Structure 1
Amino acid sequence: MNRARLIIAAAITVILLGGAIVYAAVAFTNYERRQNNPVAPQAEARSSVAFDGSPRIVFRNTTPDSAYGLVASVPLSAPSGARSITTVPCDRVYATTRYSMCLRIDRGVVTTFSANLLDSTGKTVHRWPLPGIPSRTRISPDSRLVGFTAFVTGAAYGSVGVSTETEISSTSGHDFGNLEDFAFMVDGTRNTATDRNFWGVTFTSDDNEFYATAASGGRTWLVRGDLAARTLTAIKETAECPSVSPDGRRVAYKKNVSTTASAYWSIAVLDLATGKETVLPEKRNVDDQVEWLDDSTLLYGLPRTDSPGDSDIWSIPSDGASKGRRFVQHAWSPSVVD
């Protein structure tokens, strides 16, 4: 009798276990289907990096599907509309009408890092090896200069012991070299400290002047760069990852407002003529190099707290009149191409 009960119990266990396995398989299949077909903005068919020439916002797509990490764009007139997805993967991207700069982690048996200049057809024009994780990149308004930053050590600007490397090059192939080789001036004195770091280049319209971030001794500065003179001059303390406005009159940047050892960044805008700084009413931590949508509006990326690896692009008035609003969902690293 006991043996018969054991056999029956075993049979029931097998049936239940089999049902559980089938249920798990179905659940997993449904999960994968949801992941591959999430509720996300409608996407067009994929193409090369080239776009149709209409004004667009170009960015890194972060929808949690097979298009994750690819360069994408939406019409400037319809940022919530259907997006065009390319076949080009980038970890950081910046585009103009003529070129795209694509910073990439090339994963393989040996992981490498690269900065890639692509023309309007998606062809690689130039490629630079990077010493570590890609961080920032910009192209000048006339598409003649590019700047790019990578981490040498560390992977975040708020971490201890972080080291960066930033270079500027012309799109025709002339390299201006590492910014650490430029003369760095603070209050009329050259800073030659071994802990100097530079990152976050942004270009003006004259192909000589640019702005960047400098750091040394636990301090950061907004610096004005001169390519011909090979100098970097500090003009404002506590400013990082600058972005020059289209009219050239203002510089937006992230400003560390933390009162502790951990960095916490707000967005600030500096009027270059008057020196007036306006801190914008974005209370969340903005670790990004902002982009100007136009002369009165800024764009920036914020990660989604409920979805690791996903993010959105937000917009905010540059005069501090109101808070930010979500501008493009599932997107990162914006550039305005018009």
Structure 2
Amino acid sequence: MSGRWLAVFVGMMVVIGAGYTWHARQRHARAAVPVAPGPAISLRTPGQLFFRNTEPGPHFGRVAAVPIEQLGQVTPPRRVFDAECDRFAVAAGVGLCVAQQPGVLPPMSDVRILDQDLHVVRQRALPGTVSRAKLSSDGKLAVWTLFVMGDDYSEDRFSTRAGIWDLTTDEFTKTLEDMPVSVGGKRYFSSDVNFWGITFAGDDTRFYATMASKGRTHLVQGDYRLFRARALEENVECPSLSPDGKRIAFKRRESPNATTWRLSVMDLATRAITALAETHSVDDQAAWLDERTVMYGLSRERRESDVWAVPADGSGAPRLLVAGAASPALVYP
């Protein structure tokens, strides 16, 4: 792995393992975040934004939820659940919780499937530190990315592994590294290939991911059933497919050797790329609040972060959705 990738991955490992760094922007007032009482809700309750709670205190790291009509309030009351996750996703009443096992060396993480009441119904342990997690829109395919150490091909001794769990067949793909990929119409071979940031289309067959090799990143489009992929575009990381399946939100490296990224959207038909109004570096796999809006986590200080939103067409300005939150996932109304 090149020195450039070492700098990138070390920086990301520090964020995950040692806590979020201080972020220059402080655009909201700090206040104690109330925990909401009231009737129980589930992963099927419509109109809820679920997320990982990052406010300091006894509920740090637990899954929480805020009704979408309360988004943007300084301290909207949040419902807090028992599930503790480093990354969280929800779709069709299914939850995906990826959590690092505490105090284990080398690092291990649990990929947990939750029912609508956030109870663990399936679980697999994998080597690595948590990076990303998503579900297909029907909740049948769980995907994740982990940082791992000790791969023989990596001169700097760590890389990423992205996997897929088919919850219908229970087929478990630990890594995409054996998947044939074509670049420029030719089969690509290299021992340093890494994948991360998987996102599925609604047919549960077409997917997108980032492939990195020899200091470059590529957006690849894959076929899950045929287990093969082709490169579409360079300098695309952590793709997130829009609800209509026509656009990709992603982070774009601002210069070849930079460790800062500009949040952008690509039209898959035309390959036109639009830089979004968020000008701070976004190191996250974004999600879609709706067809017109992208949401994402932005680090604040220590291990804290906030969830922001910005128009997907490059207009407007970022707005705060939930303070003390990360890994947002919407249950659509």
Task: Tell me the TM-score normalised to structure 1 length.
Answer: 0.82
Is 1:198 matched up with 2:190? no
Query: 2:248: which partner in 1?
Result: 251
Query: 2:303: which partner in 1?
Result: 309
Query: 2:141: which partner in 1?
Result: 145
- SS of 1:130 mapped into structure 2: strand
Aligned equivalents of 1:228, 1:310: Cα separation in 2 = 39
Query: Are the structure 2 counterparts of residues 308 and 189 from structure 1 closer, same or farther at C-alpha, using a change threshold of 3 Å?
Result: same
Query: Are the structure 2 counterparts of residues 212 and 99 from structure 1 closer, same or farther at C-alpha, using a change threshold of 3 Å?
Result: same
- Superposed displacement of residue 48, structure 1: 8.9
- Superposed displacement of residue 277, structure 1: 0.7
- SS of 2:65 mapped into structure 1: strand
Matched letter for residue 224 of structure 1: Q
Tell me if the contact between 2:44 and 2:93 (Cα under 8 Å) persists in the aligned partners: no
Query: 2:317: which partner in 1?
Result: 323
Unpaired segments ≥5 residues, structure 1? 1-37, 155-159
Aligned equivalents of 2:102, 2:158: Cα separation in 1 = 22
User: Which is higher, the Rg of structure 1 or of structure 2?
Assistant: 1
Query: 2:96: which partner in 1?
Result: 101
Tell me if the contact between 1:140 and 1:146 (Cα under 8 Å) persists in the aligned partners: yes
Aligned equivalents of 1:49, 1:198: Cα separation in 2 = 35
Query: 1:116: which partner in 2?
Result: 112
Aligned equivalents of 2:164, 2:69: Cα separation in 1 = 32
- Superposed displacement of residue 121, structure 1: 2.3
Matched letter for residue 309 of structure 2: S
Unpaired segments ≥5 residues, structure 2? 1-29, 151-155
Is 1:135 matched up with 2:127? no
Aligned equivalents of 2:39, 2:148: Cα separation in 1 = 33
Matched letter for residue 122 of structure 1: L
- Superposed displacement of residue 137, structure 1: 0.8
2:36 to 27, 31, 44: 44
Q: Which has the higher helix share?
A: 1
Aligned equivalents of 1:49, 1:183: Cα separation in 2 = 43
Aligned equivalents of 1:48, 1:177: Cα separation in 2 = 35
Is 1:221 matched up with 2:213? no
Is 1:241 matched up with 2:238? yes
Which whole-Å deviations, capped at 9, do the CAs of 1:163-194 have from their partners, x for residues lacking one? 00111111131224421111011111112201
Is 1:293 matched up with 2:289? yes
Tell me if the contact between 1:166 and 1:198 (Cα under 8 Å) persists in the aligned partners: yes
Query: 1:54: which partner in 2?
Result: 46
Aligned equivalents of 1:238, 1:48: Cα separation in 2 = 43
Aligned equivalents of 1:78, 1:226: Cα separation in 2 = 39
Of stretches 55-64 and 39-48 in structure 1, the one that deviates more from structure 2 is 39-48
Is 1:82 matched up with 2:90? no
Query: 1:208: which partner in 2?
Result: 205
Matched letter for residue 262 of structure 1: A
Is 1:262 matched up with 2:278? no
Aligned equivalents of 1:205, 1:68: Cα separation in 2 = 33
Query: Are the structure 2 counterparts of residues 177 and 311 from structure 1 closer, same or farther at C-alpha, using a change threshold of 3 Å?
Result: closer
The answer to which structure, 1 or 2, has the higher relative contact order (CA under 8 A, 6+ apart) is 2
Is 1:169 matched up with 2:165? yes
Is 1:335 matched up with 2:324? no
Aligned equivalents of 2:39, 2:314: Cα separation in 1 = 38
- Superposed displacement of residue 96, structure 1: 1.7
Query: Percent of pairs identical after alignment?
Result: 38
- Superposed displacement of residue 161, structure 1: 6.0
Query: Are the structure 2 counterparts of residues 46 and 185 from structure 1 closer, same or farther at C-alpha, using a change threshold of 3 Å?
Result: farther
Matched letter for residue 145 of structure 2: T
- Superposed displacement of residue 141, structure 1: 0.5
Of stretches 170-179 and 225-234 in structure 1, the one that deviates more from structure 2 is 170-179
Aligned equivalents of 1:273, 1:109: Cα separation in 2 = 45
- Superposed displacement of residue 108, structure 1: 3.8
2:279 to 278, 283, 292: 283
Tell me if the contact between 1:313 and 1:327 (Cα under 8 Å) persists in the aligned partners: yes
- Superposed displacement of residue 336, structure 1: 1.0
Matched letter for residue 264 of structure 2: A
Query: Are the structure 2 counterparts of residues 128 and 109 from structure 1 closer, same or farther at C-alpha, using a change threshold of 3 Å?
Result: closer
